[in-house]
Amino acid sequence: MLSRQMSDPIPPLRPLEGWHVLHIFYQIEYGQWSLLSGDEQLKAKTALTALVQEIRATPETQLLTFSVVSAKADLGFMLLTPDLHQANAFEKHLGTILGPDVLTPVYSYFSMTELSEYASTEEEYAESVAKEKGLPAEAPEVRAAVEEFRVRMAKYNQDKLYPNLPGWPVLCFYPMSKRRVSGQNWYSLPFAERKRLMGGHARLGRQWHGKVRQLITGSTGLDDAEWGVTLFSHQSTHIKEIIYQMRFDPASAEYAEFGEFYIGLQLPLDELFRRVRL
């Protein structure tokens, strides 16, 4: 009976909504890698290629591969998948697939896709449209605007919980939290004030539409900070400029605490192997 239970597949561990997200950064131990023969190295790279393909073929799962731009790490992976058991298994396999002690994890971050608590409700949007147009809330023009808002928000929420990540070359990741100090405690502010501040923050971010794509994932209770922020762009300049400008916004200037920044370049595996000298 016990052996049968142990051989049964483990039931999936899926969130009520959204996906689990892992950012993993590795240093390559070139001394260990050099101990492998040419055939062993080729076999290891072939195994990693097959594993990446297997992960990417898993339903509702995405895996990004990138070379890290700095001495903080050599290569990284970003994994999105619904089943936490699978996420954990993929993570362990990625770390050992090239051979014992070849990859040393130097940083990792665990979070989940989530919806924003500060998004406008249909009632709030209807009120703002009615006020702007000088119409009663039940006017046909207001109802039509609300219906468009409902459709737009449905897509927005879908993209937040189940994003389709772009293949844009520049990837930036950093963790962040809201400040909790005397006189600058984000969580002591009334909800309406927090929502007002985040609305201004969002309007500033929308100025970079088409230049920077952003994914904010929640990590309260899961990792050391409260959110993980992943930015994608075609230009490193755009990453630098958006982060610089948004730091002057009150939601960041007064209340944000940032962790370390990691910059990566998304690459296909054959180029990634050449870039990191495997």
- Strand boundaries in 126-253, DSSP class E: 170-178, 180-181, 184-185, 212-218, 227-233
Instruction: Give CA–CA dist 137/126, Å, rounded.
Output: 6
Active site residue: 107, 109, 174, 255, which one?
174
3-state secondary structure of 264: strand
Nearest alpha carbon to residue 114 among 6, 226, 36: 226
Residues 6+ apart with CB under 8 A from 48: 94, 97, 98, 269
> Active-site residue 174, yes or no?
yes
CA distance 246 to 207: 11
Residue in 222, 216, 221, 213 with CA at minimum distance from that of residue 256 = 216
Q: 54 Cβ partners below 8 Å, 6+ apart?
A: none
The tokens describing 232, both together, are: 């994608």
234-253 b/e (C-beta count within 10 Å ≥ 16 → b): eeeebbeebbeebeebebbe
Contact predicate 167/63, CB 8 Å: no
Point out the residues that are catalytic.
174
